[in-house]
Amino acid sequence: MVYQKNDEDIMDRKKSNELELKEANLERSLIKTIRQRQPQFLGHICRHKSLEHLAVTGKIEGKGSTGFKILKSLNREEQTIIFRLRTGHNRLRKHKYIKLKIGESPICQCGQGSQSAEHILQQTCSNLATFRYLFWPELITLTKKLYGTTRDLTQTAEFAKATGLQI
Ligand SMILES: [Zn+2]
Beta bridge pairs of residue 157: none
Average pLDDT, the chain: 81
Contact 135, 123 (CB under 8 A): no
107 Cα to the center of ligand 1, angstroms: 8
For residue 99, CA distances in Å to 56, 75, 90 come to: 21, 28, 10
Packing angle between helix 150-163 and helix 76-87, nearest 10 degrees?
A: 90
71 Cα to the center of ligand 1, angstroms: 26
- What are the residue boundaries of the structural domains of the chain, listed by start? 1-57, 66-163
Per residue in 27-72, pLDDT tens? 666 666 656 666 555 555 455 555 565 566 555 544 456 778 898 8
154 Cα to the center of ligand 1, angstroms: 22
